A and B are shown apart, each in its own frame.
Chain A
Amino acid sequence: MIKKSSIISLILITTFCIFLIFYQSKKEIILPKFYFSQLLKPLILVKDSIKDFLLLKQENAQLKKQIFELSLKENYYSSLVQENKRLKEILSLKEQRKDIVAIGKVISKGSTKYLKTIWIDKGSAHGIKKDYSAVTTNGLVGKIVSVYPESSEILLITDPNFSVSVRIERSRAEGILSGKGDKCVIKYIPLEEEVLVGDRVITSGLDGIFPEGVIIGAVKSSDKRKGLFQIIEVIPMQPENKIEEVAVIKRG
């Protein structure tokens, strides 16, 4: 059943509102807008903070990833720069020495546990033969002990099986240098020869294998207490764990 009072109320409300809306549409009445959300400003701040936090977390993860990628790239570029530098040095060495046969890149460490050797990616196909010397810009590395068409094995100067005829650059005293694991020793230099710590050791070329004048290392110490000869410890100029490219030169 429809009540009169309620119908009248509804009509009154509607009519009043229609008038109100009409005058608002004509801009004759402008009512202020209530921003309820302003009352909830602290909550909005909390919401924004949470949103910011999540965004920052995400951004942080992305940046970390980017840093990692960039550091990888940087390492790669820095290794390229180093390689470029080394290759330039080797090339300058090749220009200086006309007896260089090939320049090889070290591809692996020695395959046997008895010998201290390294392998390079150049072999007989590139003119390399057994007993050729291997050098870097720092000095003598060793000699070729086995040759294959596309690779060669180099016996390092620190191997006990290695020996070379050497000379103390300053005093010109001659002796035989051989490997001793991680260093080298010079034998057969008489006690009366003056050998000082830091003297440079070069090849003498008397063995017919190594060309004359290739730097090997520097004198670390000299022991005159035993026998007729001094025992001179030599530190190689070229650390064996930092060999990356070598130049192979013909027999002396």
Chain B
Amino acid sequence: MKKLIKWISLTALTLLIQSLILIFTGIKTNLFFLLIFLFIVDYYFPKEQKKNISPNEVYPLIFFAFIGFIEDLGQEIIGPSIISKSITGYLLIKITNQFFFTWSPPFKGIIIFIFTLLDEFISMVIVMSFFNLDFEHFVLLKEIFIRALINVPLGLFISWGRP
């Protein structure tokens, strides 16, 4: 129960920070992905995995879907972020389960960057496929790229010293 409250509080805090950044700077960020990353750092990094204390994968998936749902609530379309967050979260769990990776800061940075891009890309493809929305592709890609770049130092910060 404590853990549930902790993660719901963190979700609310992430939403608040993301909204504040948007209000004060006009920059759209993808901090929810960092929340997923933090969750995985907490429960799935090799040290914890070795201790065999990681939870099963269904509850995390539901949590990722919940994060995606919260994100989608602000978009008027429910679904794209649920799918993207679930898929990227799941793949991230699978990556962390591989013992042959050395989780050095550069590697973590690359993973954060690639998975943020993947998350954004899945969501973008779904919206573009189902809805007749006009996008300026270059601008959209640039924004996605910037969001991924922003996540790298923040992700390294929240996972500093781990594993």
Give the B-binding residues of A (Cβ under 8 A).
Answer: 1-3, 5-6, 9-10, 13-14, 17-18, 20-22, 24-25, 31, 33-37, 39-40, 43-44, 47
Instruction: Tell me which residues across on chain A come within 8 A of B161, comparing CB atoms.
Output: none
Q: Of residues 1 to 35 in B, which have CB atoms within 8 Å of A's CB atoms?
A: 15-16, 19-20, 22-24
Task: Provide the residues of chain B in CB contact with A20, threshold 8 Å.
Answer: 78-79
Are A13 and B83 also in contact (CB < 8 A) when A5-B57, A6-B57, A43-B20 are? yes
Q: Are A14 and B83 in contact (CB under 8 A)?
A: yes
A47 to B82 alpha-carbon distance, docked (Å): 31
User: Digit string of B35-60 for contact with A (CB within 8 Å is 1, else 0)?
Assistant: 00000000000000000000011100
B152 at the binding interface (Cβ < 8 Å): no
* Cross-chain contact B74 with A6 (CB below 8 angstroms): no
Decide: A21 and B77 in contact? CB cutoff 8 A.
yes
CB–CB B58/A21 < 8 A: no
- Do residues B82 and A43 form an inter-chain contact, with CB atoms below 8 A? no
A24 and B61 contacting across the interface, CB-CB below 8 Å? no
| Closest A residue to B24 using CB positions | A47
A233-B158 Cα distance, complex, nearest whole Å: 95
Contacts of B97 on A, CB cut-off 8 Å? Answer: 1
Q: Check: B162 CB closer than 8 A to any chain A CB.
A: no
B80 within 8 Å of A by Cβ?
yes
Given contacts A3-B56, A13-B83, A22-B130, contact A33 B19 (CB under 8 A): no
Q: Given A3-B56, A43-B23 in contact, is the A33-B76 Cβ separation under 8 Å? A: yes
